[in-house]
Structure formats: C-alpha cells, structure tokens
Amino acid sequence: MYWFKQIKRILNEPMLFSMIIFIWVLLILFVLYPITMVGLKSFQPKTGIYNFDVYKTLFSKKYFVTPIINTLKLGIVVASVSVLIGYLFAYSIAKVNIPMKGFFRTVATFPIISPPFVIALAAILLLGRNGVLTKGLFGGTPPFEIYGFWGLVIVETLAYFPTAFMTLEAILTSISSDLEEASLSLGSNKWRTFWRVTFPLSLPGVLSAWLLVFSQSMADFGNPLILGGRYHVLSVSAYLEITGSYRISYGSGLAILLLIPTLIAFFVQRYWLSKKSYVTVTGKPSVVRALEPKMYVKVIFTVVCLVFVTAIFLFYGTVLFGSFTKLWGVDHTLTLANYKFAFTYNWEFIKDTLILASIATPLCGILGIMIAYLVARKQFPGRRIMEAVSLLTFAVPGTVVGIGYLLAFNQKPLILTGTALIIILIFVFRELPVGVQNGVAALYQIDRSIEEASLDLGSSSNKTFWKVTLPLLMPAFFNALFTAFVRSMTAISAVIFVVSGKWNLITVRILGAVGNSDLAQAAALSYVLIGIVLVAMFLLRFLTINFSYQTKIRRAMS
C-alpha cells in the first residue's frame, strides 16, 4: 500500500517522474551496464559458453595469483604509511600551533591536482640508476631498486597521502578542544590526553582515510605501469591481458578481482564508518584551539611537515627541471625544445583533451546537481539506491570502467568506440560522484524554509528552483566543475582502453613518452597539463567570487 501511494504520488508530478526515469536510464546504461558486462565476460571464456574456467585459471596459475597478492600487499602498505603521514600532517596543522600552515596545506594538495604519474616520472629522474640523487648522493648505485615494490610505495604514498591528510584534517578540526582541555585540567598529561581522548575520537576518520587510500592504491594504473618493473599489479595485468594479448575474458576476470576489494572498502567507508563517527554535537559551536606546546615539540612537528613538503617540491621540481633539459641524464643544457615539441607535434593531443574535458565537465556538473537535487529534496522510491549508484563510479577502478565501456559499446545497438562521445561519457560518469556529493552536501545546508518562502509568495516550483535553489548551489556547482575538469584532464586508467585515432588524450601521450623513455618530453607535457589545470583553478576562483550569491547580495547592498 505504501509503495502504491508513493508511485501514485510521483505519477501526479510528471516533471519529476520523467526526470527520475531519465536519470535511471542514464545510470543503468552508462554505470551499471558496462560493469555488468565486465562481470559477464569474466564467466565467458569463449563466445556462447558460460562457466568458471576463467576464475579457475586465475586462481591456479601463479602468474595470475602473484598480481592479486601484489596488489593487496601494496594497497595495505601504502594505505598504512599514508595514513600515518597524513595523521602527523593533519595533527600538526589542526592541533599544534606550527608556523606556515597555509603553505603546508597548499603544498600537500599538489599531488591531487597533478597528473597521477608525474611522481613516478620524478622517481626515475631522481632515484633511477642514472638519477640525480643516485649519482650525487649514493655514488652511482641506487640505494634500493625503485622499479618494484619499494619504488611504488614511495610514489603512491606521496601521491595519496594528501587524501588521508584532508580526510583527517576535517575530522580533527571537528573534535572540540573543550574535551582535550577537560582531560588536561583533570590531570592527564598531553600524551595520555592524545591517546585517551583525541585519538579514539578520530579513529573513524583514520579507518575512513585508510580505506580511501587503499582503494586509490588498488586502482592506480599509471604509476605501476611506469615503475612496476617486474612487480605486477592487477590493473596493469588486466591492461596487458587485453591490449597485449586480446584475452578479454581474463582481463575482465582480473578487473573483477580488482573491483571486489575496492567495492567492499567503499561500502564499509560510506555506510558503516560514517555512522560510527563519535563527533560530538553539543549545540555549542565547537572551537578548535591549536595547542601551544613546548618549543621542541613544535620544532619536531614543523620538521616532519617540512620533510614531506620538501619531498614534494623535490619531486615536482625535478620534473620541471627535466622538462627544460636537452637530453635527460646525458646533456643537461637548458632548452625550450621540449615545449616547442609539445606545442607542435603534440598540439592535437592537448587540443583534444581540452575539448573533451570542456564538454564533459558542464554535463557532469549539471547531471550531478540534478541527481543531488532529487536525492536531497524529493521523496520517491529508490532514492537511496539512486544515490548509491551515482556514487558507485567513485569506488569502481578506472580499469574496470574502461574495460566495461570497451565491451559494452563496441557492438550493436550502441557502437561508440572511436567516437568523442565514448570518452566524454567516461569523463561524465566517472566524475559524477563529485557533483552529486558536493550538491547533496550544499543542499542539506540550505534551509528548506527559503524555498518554502518562495513557494508561499506564489512562485512555481520550477521558478523557485531556477531563482532560489540553483543560485545558492552555485559555489558547490563550480567546485564540482573544477574537480571534474581536473580529474578528467589527468585521467588515464579508464580512457586508455577507448582512445582512438580521432580523439587522443594528452595523458595517454605522456604515458607513451615515459614508456619510450623520452623523459624530457614527458616532463614538458606534464607541465603543460599542470599549467592548464592551474589556469582552470584561477578561472574557478574568479567564477565563484563573481557569481556566488553572497557577492551578489554584497553588491546589491553597497
């Protein structure tokens, strides 16, 4: 009876009804269908036959078992190290009165906006057999083998500890200092206070950050491809199976094995941990007062932060320097030739990437806001499921998405391979969660009474949306646009399966250049990409400042 009523209510609102249908069609077609295809294909060793042969082989042959273990091992180590570093960083910035906080925070976010494999490239330039550090510090023999497990640990930790840092910083700032001060005035020392008060309160955040980094490391494709050497991980094995041997069933099977742990991590993080949060709601505004500790403590925390910031600078600086050298490792004469090369021979790649990302980004933002609006403001059956599905691509590794699109859209009725559309669709649906999440968060903050006021004053619900809700959503919208744009520009793991002669992407080109050991060219192209991202960032700042509601009000007032 309840469902019947619900459905009847929706049928009374044709606009809402058609929107829900429209979004479900898109989500099923471009999120669920491709992933299902990967799953089906992994049970289909030959056309027309369905059985478990693929998995039997995957678990019996050493050459498939090794990547499975390797991937998990790498994920666990990277997540643990990243969370440790992220915690130190977040604690220093949120709770200890160290200098240069803004600076540390900005630098820590570098790796998030840069192409993912720049750090791997830097690792080769610095620590390879012929690297700058290897030659300068270690006298020609590398301190350890960077092509393999330890190299990947270093590179992925630098790339993903910012995720842990941001998650933990949010948690730590939400822990009210009152509690810590209470503990201190009751006689506990700072050490005990940390372990008995602060740390337990931040534990859900720690687990959350761990799972996020674990998933990112599992899904990473660019770094292991460049730096893995003989240490094979699932994403690379799946890629080699498919593009190297055209054994799609095996590639799909590997992709499914990659998908399972990341999905588990995603659901645990999202639906279990988020409820476990101990963050105390007191009604009073929670105040975070940074501790003013002893001098030596402050120095230690500052030094720890400095070490990591220096490492980031060293890595990015090396790539920048490399982009201006004539022939890395042999002739370090400075030259602009690599940039000239980037803008002549590789202009097509830059142009295509820009065009595709620029088309995909607004579509992604609009769709994300639409879904967020439905999920946060409307009542209809399947609301939670719609939200979960739209967030799903966050959890699904790019490799799985790429294989899925390759399988799903290479046959009738929807032949999309080789078109711009397939790349745009991948961008849109992979970055969709950003828009949905930002939108939902923003909508929960906007009091419904504002919209109700508009309705009471006689505006239609349509007009209310365009004139009231949407303008209030603008900052979240632009933020989602920026993130989607950056992530599209720097994406590699999914799109590498569907790039074609007509539409090429700069990240694929960079990966090719690294694979070919044209390191200086790769460095220059990476910096062109970073440049574009920075321009986009300033554009976004400009847009948010000029179009946000607050500014309009301020302007109207003055």
Binding site for other proteins (CB under 8 A): 61-64, 66, 124, 128-130, 140, 147, 225, 228-230, 240, 242-246, 248, 327-331, 345, 348, 355, 359, 362-363, 366, 406, 410-411, 415, 417-420, 466, 470, 499-502, 504, 509, 512-513, 515-519
Whichever of 64 and 301 has its CB closer to other proteins, that residue is 64
CA gap 330, 139 in Å, rounded: 16
Find, among 14, 33, 37, 36, the residue nearest to 25 by Cα: 33
Q: Which is nearer to other proteins, 160 or 328 (CB)?
A: 328
- Shortest distance, CB of residue 466 to other proteins, whole angstroms? 7
Write out the two tokens for 143.
């301190």
- DSSP assignment of 179-204 equals HHHHHHHTT--HHHHIIIIIHHHHHH
Cα separation, 429 vs 389, whole angstroms: 11
DSSP string, 271-340: IIGGGS------SSPP--PPB---HHHHHHHHHHHHHHHHHHHHHHHHHHHHHTEEETTTEEEE-SHHHH
Nearest approach in angstroms of CB 421 to other proteins is: 8
**Alpha helix (H) ranges present in 61-148?**
62-95, 101-108, 110-113, 118-127, 132-136
Nearer to other proteins, 110 or 328 (CB): 328
In whole angstroms, the minimum distance from the beta carbon of 284 to other proteins comes to 40
Residue 373 contacts residue 465 (beta carbons within 8 Å)? yes
Which pair of tokens denotes residue 406?
A: 């390759």
Strands 325-327 and 331-334, how do they pair?
Answer: antiparallel
Give the C-alpha separation, 508 to 505, whole Å: 5
The first and second tokens of residue 379, run together, are: 């009542």
Closer by beta carbon to other proteins, 68 or else 391: 68
Is the separation of the CB atoms in 244 and 175 below 8 Å? no
Least separation in angstroms between residue 86's CB and other proteins is 31
Closest CA to 68 of 210, 208, 250, 246: 250
Shortest distance, position 321 Cβ to other proteins, whole Å: 16
Closer residue to other proteins in complex, CB, 161/231: 231
Report in angstroms how near the CB of residue 240 gets to other proteins at its nearest.
Answer: 7
Cα three-residue angle 512-516-520, rounded to 5 degrees: 90
Instruction: Give the three-state DSSP class for 20.
Output: helix
Identify the CA nearest to 208 among candidates 165, 176, 179, 175: 165
